[in-house]
Structure 1
Amino acid sequence: MTDERAQSTLAPILTDMSTLADILGAKLPFILIGLTCFIVAFILSGPISRLLVKPVKHFNKSELVALVTKRLISLLIVLLGAYVLLRLSGLTEFAIAVASGTGLAGLIVGFAFKDIAENFISSLLLSVQKPFKIGDVVDVASNTGVISRVTSRATTLVDFDGNHIQIPNAVIYKSIIKNYTANPKMRSHFVIGIGYDASASGAQQLALDILLEHSAILDKPKPQVLVDSLGSSTLNLKVYFWIDSDKNSILKVRSVIQRSILEAFETAGIPMPDDARERIIKYAQDDDVASLESKSSHLSSKEKDANSVSKTRTSGSQNLASREQHVKEDDLESEVSEIKEQAQQSRSPEQGDNIL
């Protein structure tokens, strides 16, 4: 009885195994063909993708675009081989389910990694459009510095304080980008006020002569000195000039020009008064006259001391002026090249290959 029960229990299992063996025997050639197709597709995905991506390089020089295109082509070829394997194995419904599941999984992953995908797509667009290149001085997202590295996730700037600033590519793509290196010619300006009793045209010509004589000021576009506004106590002149930012620092040139114009105005006797101030004089009462007289005696003694101090300052200023005559020409060299060298020598905090 025990043997009969065991045989009755194992009979369905043996029947199913026999049926499965018959099915496998019938499907085995197709499975082998499908497996061969999958292996061939996997092996050929690399060479085929490299061959098909060559026309892309003729239209676009971006290495990132070529790499992404090559990987997409390889993935499609491998998926095609897997689909053929499942179809030949008789798993047509499973093949369709895998294909649809892949699309659904891609959608879920896209939502889960939205920021990463956004940065990656932005890096693709930046590599295609190329609004800047490595070594350019740009202002983006309220940060000014030298482009040090651009990867598939972020762009690294080295600012003029030597700090590394990483900005996500999505932020850069959405921001206003000001490229200072694209056109090295830069314009600067400042305002200087003169008294109303001075000749405005004479002051303008004097300042313009200083600009035209300076070697760092470009002749084209020409510098200008224009009347900007009428202040409460001064006639305000606005000085415009252009420089080559690759050679000279705009901050240093502006400092030297301001100092030169100030010295020229002082030599020519052109007054530069400060803002007008209102003074309120309160008349003293009769009983305060005595105290005022005592205060005036103290003030007279202080004035004597002040006169001696002013004489000392005058002699000191004369000595300083004599020293300034022997000072060499000011250093106007741009510091951008030094920042670029620092960016090349420093350790990059952003891991990944450059895409530009």
Structure 2
Amino acid sequence: MPSSKSNNIALNNTLPSTQNLQSDVFTWQFFHEQAVQLLHATAQILPTLLLGIILLALSYLIAGPLSRLLIKPIDYMTDSKLVHLVVRRSISTLIILFGVYLFLRLAGLTEFAVAIMSGTGLIGLILGFAFRDIAENFIASLLLSIQRPFKIDDVIEVDNRLGIVKKVTARATTLVDYDGNHIQIPNATVYKNTIKNLTANPKMRGKVEIGIGYDNDIRSAQTLALDIANQQNAVLSDPPSQVLIKNLGSSTINFVLYFWVNSEQHSPLKVASQLMRELVNEFTKQDISMPDDARERIILADPSENVSSLEEKQPSKVQSEKSETVDQTKTLDDVSSDTDEIREQAEQSRDPEQGKNII
């Protein structure tokens, strides 16, 4: 009996050390097996992974040259730089995304690849709603660069704003008006509104309105007005000028003198001013009356009273003749166009917006 108890005690004393040894062996063996399995898995997937990396790098390298090759047919459709840039970058992005998809598929991450492709479309949709105005301006820029309703330095009128086109970027169109102000109009507004291009046809029609009294010969006044218009060097002979009766006023017969000028060389406003001055001077010489609106005058004084006293109160109509200088004469007779001067100011002015011209 005492010997058996001593054996049990010895067995109990050695049991914990044996369990510790087995747990240590199990732990190291577990990590060793995991490492071996990882190495085997890596060795099996390594060729496929290397192939995926090669395809990804290859897609990145050939994206640029292949996109330039694929957009060659677009050169025959349009010469818009913006369209070429957008299409080329879109093709490059698609090629790179395809390379990323192949890499993830070969790496065994098929579900992750599908999730990325789906997420890309979702993100694009969200960004499209968030930046709707920016996207609208960008699409309008593409359409403007393709259709080209105007060019740089053209005189256009958009949304009741008249000016010279200085710059067209992917966001806005910059005009310089005849007061020297820079006006930026979003391309979406430009595309959706009526565009009046005053440079496409350099011939522009101007008009001068004038009224003569009922005691004058209408046909003689019309002929005289035509002669005065045809004597001006700035007025074009083709199309010919016209003098048309507009309406019958209370004290005058009103007619309009229509004339044509080359807007690239002469200003219609300046020519109209010069024609008005010449018409008034010539009509005065020919005793053609140009009365103002009729007014009723009531005299409350005694008719027997000397009318001379009233005449003395009237201001004397004496025209003071002042000598004109050479510069003043040139200024008054100047009918040149202001367009080139505004274009020169636009070139010298600070650029209000960064970016390259797209047309």
Class of the TM-score when normalised by the shorter of the 2 chains: 0.7 to 0.9
How far did residue 5 of structure 1 move? 5.7
Deviations 1:201-238 (A, max 9, x none): 11111101111111111111110001111111111111
Among 322, 332, 338, the residue aligned to 2:335: 332
Paired residue secondary structure (1:133)? coil
Which position in structure 2 is the counterpart of 1:101?
119
- Measured in 1, the distance between the counterparts of 2:285 and 2:228 equals 13
Percent of residue pairs bearing the same amino acid type: 51
Count of aligned positions: 339
* 2:355 paired with 1:352: yes
- Measured in 2, the distance between the counterparts of 1:7 and 1:165 equals 82
Trace 1:95-174 onto structure 2 (pairs within 5 A).
Answer: 95-174=113-192
Q: Which segments of 5 or more consecutive residues in structure 2 lack a partner in the other structure?
A: 1-18
How far did residue 60 of structure 1 move? 1.2
Trace 1:1-356 onto structure 2 (pairs within 5 A).
Answer: 18-280=36-298, 303-304=311-312, 306=314, 310=316, 313-314=317-318, 316-317=319-320, 319-320=321-322, 327=329, 330-356=333-359
What is the TM-score normalised by the length of structure 2? 0.86
Larger CA Rg, structure 1 vs 2: 2
- Measured in 1, the distance between the counterparts of 2:195 and 2:25 equals 82
- Measured in 2, the distance between the counterparts of 1:110 and 1:304 equals 80
Q: Which segments of 5 or more consecutive residues in structure 1 lack a partner in the other structure?
A: none
Paired residue secondary structure (2:333)? coil
- Measured in 1, the distance between the counterparts of 2:21 and 2:162 equals 88
Check conservation: 2:208, 2:275, Cα contact below 8 A: no
- Measured in 1, the distance between the counterparts of 2:169 and 2:298 equals 66
Structure 2 counterpart of 1:332, one-letter code: V
Paired residue secondary structure (2:76)? helix
Residues 99/243 of structure 1: CA separation in 2 closer, same or farther (3 Å cut): same
Residues 156/278 of structure 1: CA separation in 2 closer, same or farther (3 Å cut): same
What is the TM-score normalised by the length of structure 1? 0.87
How far did residue 337 of structure 1 move? 0.4
Residues 4/145 of structure 1: CA separation in 2 closer, same or farther (3 Å cut): farther
Paired residue secondary structure (2:167)? strand
More helix by share: 1
- Measured in 1, the distance between the counterparts of 2:24 and 2:349 equals 78
